Each structure stands twice: as C-alpha cells, then as structure tokens.
C-alpha cells in the first residue's frame, strides 16, 4: 500500500520549506510496501532516502532519486508491574504521541513536548529537551533490514545513544529503516525539574499537564512557527569540549552557559558562542539567524539550501576563529543523490 507522486515539489515535506523536487515521492504505510519500493530502487540503481516529517534535513538542490515518506503508524500498549511499554511505529508524529499519552493518563513524555519530527527520527537523533532524552525512556528500537527482509530488535544499551546521536546514524543507516520504538513509561510518575519550571508560578502543586503547558508555551515563544518560517530547529549541536578549552573561555568571559559531562568534558552553549560573534542582521538571500534564538537558521521566504549552507559556514568559521571550537551541524545535508557530509 503506497501512494506515488512524480516530479513533485518537496516544499511541504521538509520543515525548511526548500522548494526542491524529487524524481518521485512515494508515501508508504506498510512495511511490505517499503520493502517493495526499496527493491525497485535497487533494481534500477536509483538513489533513495526515507523521510518522516522532514524536520532534520536541508535539501541543497533537486533530488534525482526516490523520496520515501514513512507513514507507517500504530501504537500498542503493554502493561507490566511498574511500567507501561508503548510499541510505537516510526511514522507516528512525535508530538502527537506525547499528546496521546497525556490524554490517556500516561505521564513521562511531557518534557519532550512540541518537538517536531517522527518517532523514528526521534530515536535516530536521540532527541532531548529540559532534562530528558530518548535514551532515558527507550526500551528497544526495531530496525528493518531491507536486504534481508527481517526486523532486528536492539535493546537500549545496544543503540549507542549519545548527544544527538545513535547507532542508526552509522551502522544501521544505509539499507536499514527504523520501523518502531519501544518506549517505557513508569507508573510512578515523578517530575523532571528544570530552570524554567522553577521560575514559573505554576510550580506549586506541579503535575504533568502543567509541565506540558509550560514547555509548549516556552517553545512557542522562543522558536519560529514552522507554518510561517522555514527552519529545522537547532542547526548546530552544543559543542562538547575539553576542560582546558572550557577553562580558556571561562577565564575570559563571565556567565558562560556550560554543563559538566560524565566523562569530564564540558558542554558549551552554541547559541552563546554565536551571540558573542555579533552577527547583527546578517542575511544571505532569505537565509538568516532567527532573532529570538541564535541557534536557529531560518528560511525567511525563498531561501535556497545553498544560501542556508553559506550562512552556516560563515558562522562556523567565525566561531572557530574566535574560540577554536568547530561547531558540528545537527541536521543532514542532502544533494541530488543523497546525504552528504559538509561543514
């Protein structure tokens, strides 16, 4: 079961709103149809990419292959003694899942509210916000081997989750597809407290609904509306540097947002680094830095992927020159034949 479009624009299928086309766009809603499309691509030696909500990609030009849009959906719930295990297919929207769990009274995902993207990409990216990451709630990830037509279940400890990274970006990238994610929700709910929550008057008699609402309000106030301004959220990762590099910065600047990591390294705020480089009103075509959040690059109207890339390179070079820190992109770059490494 799948729907096919030929030479259609991908503008509404990527959150950056890049007005590029693909040779074919195919929507799949079953595992079998995904396998069938992959076989066709392999037979005709056609490049292909699998997208969910297109929330973490930047198309640099028209794509000459097949774009497969994952719409494989479904949620089942298994009750255990102390937890609920949700088996969620990868084509579900992440925020819809959060709202669904809230609606049925299962609490624990509220700190990850309003993050765009699908459940599959959430696992691949190990999304995180306000003290919670996918790795904290993941029980397993089911990966489909397109070559062998079988599903491999990886327990959480085998997923190699790290900051905005996982094994699904490397070993299980080409020839594989994340099909479902097992999510563990504890029955004994405890709030994850974060700075914004402490500032809120709603901290009194806190519950999951209040946290959900505070986070949604905060994200809406800080982040651009995807329906109006094209973007992919945070463009760069917050750099994790050695204690010596961090010490050098802290000796010069006061109040640098930084966070000690378990391995002794230090995570520095990329938004702060960008702010200190004073990019006042910098704009390349319609590519710009979002005024309310330095870490977000936006397509103000008709920016091209190349313009966004040029702006990102200027930022990256300036940060390196000033702080000797190389910012790493959080998004995937896609040229005419597939994902490529840039920056």
DSSP one-letter string for 5-41 = EES-B-GGGSTT----BEEEEEEE-SHHHHHHHHHHH
Q: Model-level pTM?
A: 0.94
Query: For a pLDDT cut of 90, what percent of the chain falls above it?
Result: 90
Q: Which residue has the higher pLDDT, 134 or 281?
A: 134
pLDDT score, position 4: 61
3-state secondary structure of 273: helix
Residue 59 confidence (pLDDT) above 80: yes
Report the alpha-carbon distance of residue 70 to residue 2 in Å, rounded: 10
Element (H, E) at 250: helix 243-252
Instruction: Out of 53-62, 191-200, 245-254, 324-333, pick the least confident.
Output: 191-200
pLDDT score, position 168: 98
Residue 164, by phi and psi: left (phi above 0), alpha (psi -120 to 50) or beta? Answer: left
Average pLDDT over residues 179-190: 97
Q: Work out the pLDDT band at 3, boundaries 50, 70, 90.
A: low
Q: Which residue has the higher pLDDT, 155 or 201?
A: 155
Instruction: Out of 27-41, 128-142, 225-239, 254-268, pick the least confident.
Output: 254-268
pLDDT score, position 254: 86
Task: Please report, for the chain, the start and end positions of each structural domain, with discontinuous segments joined by +.
Answer: 2-70, 75-220, 224-340
Distances (CA, A) of 339 to 92, 100, 170, 218: 23, 33, 12, 32
pLDDT score, position 203: 62
Instruction: Out of 201-205, 290-294, 323-327, pick the least confident.
Output: 201-205
Out of 3.40.50.150, 3.90.78.10, 3.40.50.620, 3.40.50.970, which CATH number does the structure's domain 224-340 have? 3.90.78.10
Element (H, E) at 231: strand 230-234
Instruction: Out of 126-135, 161-170, 196-205, 250-259, pick the least confident.
Output: 196-205
Pairing outcome for strands 63-70 and 22-28: parallel
Out of 3.30.465.10, 3.40.50.300, 3.40.109.10, 3.40.50.720, which CATH number does the structure's domain 75-220 have? 3.30.465.10
3-state secondary structure of 206: coil
Residue 73 confidence (pLDDT) above 90: yes
Residue 201 confidence (pLDDT) above 90: no
Residue 153 confidence (pLDDT) above 60: yes
109 alpha carbon, distance to own chain's centre: 16
For the chain, the maximum distance between any two Cα atoms, rounded to a whole number of angstroms, is 61
3-state secondary structure of 198: helix
Average pLDDT over residues 215-230: 94
pLDDT score, position 202: 58
Active site residues: 164, 234, 330
Residue 1 confidence (pLDDT) above 60: no
Report the alpha-carbon distance of residue 341 to residue 343 in Å, rounded: 7
Q: CA-CA-CA-CA torsion for 299, 302, 303, 305, nearest 10 degrees?
A: 100
The CATH code that applies to domain 2-70 is 3.30.43.10
Beta-bridged to residue 187, according to DSSP, are none
pLDDT score, position 91: 98
Residue 165 confidence (pLDDT) above 70: yes
Residue 58 confidence (pLDDT) above 60: yes
Residue of 98, 110, 107, 94 lying closest to 211 (CA atoms): 110
Which structure tokens are listed for 34? 């995904």
Residue of 227, 231, 202 lying closest to 292 (CA atoms): 231
Report the alpha-carbon distance of residue 97 to residue 83 in Å, rounded: 17
Mean pLDDT, all residues of the chain:
94
CB 51, CB 124: distance < 8 Å: no
pLDDT score, position 7: 67
Q: Work out the pLDDT band at 196, boundaries 50, 70, 90.
A: confident
């Amino acid at each position: 079961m799948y729907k096919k479009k030929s030479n259609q624009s991908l503008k509404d299928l990527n959150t950056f709103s890049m007005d590029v086309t693909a040779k074919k766009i195919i929507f799949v809603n079953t595992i079998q149809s995904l396998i069938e499309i992959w076989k066709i691509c392999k037979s005709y030696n056609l490049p292909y990419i699998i997208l969910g909500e297109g929330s973490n990609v930047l198309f640099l030009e028209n794509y000459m292959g097949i774009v497969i849009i994952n719409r494989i959906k479904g949620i089942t719930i298994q009750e255990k003694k102390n937890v609920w295990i949700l088996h969620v297919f990868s084509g579900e929207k992440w925020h819809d899942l959060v709202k669904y769990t809230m609606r049925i009274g299962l609490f624990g995902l509220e700190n990850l509210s309003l993050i765009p993207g699908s459940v599959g990409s959430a696992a691949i990216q190990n999304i995180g916000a306000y003290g919670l990451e996918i790795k904290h709630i993941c029980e397993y990830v089911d990966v489909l081997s397109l070559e062998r037509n079988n599903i491999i279940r990886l327990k959480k400890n085998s997923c190699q989750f790290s900051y905005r990274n996982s094994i699904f970006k490397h070993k299980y990238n080409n020839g594989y597809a994340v099909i479902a994610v097992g999510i563990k929700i504890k029955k004994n709910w405890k709030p994850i407290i974060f700075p914004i929550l402490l500032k809120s008057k709603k901290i009194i008699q806190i519950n999951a609904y209040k946290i959900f609402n505070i986070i949604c309000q905060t994200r809406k106030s800080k982040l651009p509306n995807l329906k109006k301004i094209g973007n992919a959220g945070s463009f760069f990762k917050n750099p994790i540097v050695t204690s010596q590099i961090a010490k050098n910065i802290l000796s010069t600047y006061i109040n640098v947002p930084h966070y000690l990591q378990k391995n002794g390294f230090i995570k520095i705020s990329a938004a702060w680094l960008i702010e200190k480089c004073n990019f006042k009103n910098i704009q390349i075509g319609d590519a710009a830095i979002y005024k309310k959040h330095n870490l977000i690059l936006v397509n103000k109207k008709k920016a091209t992927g190349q313009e966004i890339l040029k702006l990102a390179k200027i930022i990256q070079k300036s940060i390196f020159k000033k702080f000797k820190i190389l910012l790493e992109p959080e998004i995937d770059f896609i040229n005419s034949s597939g994902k490529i490494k840039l920056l």
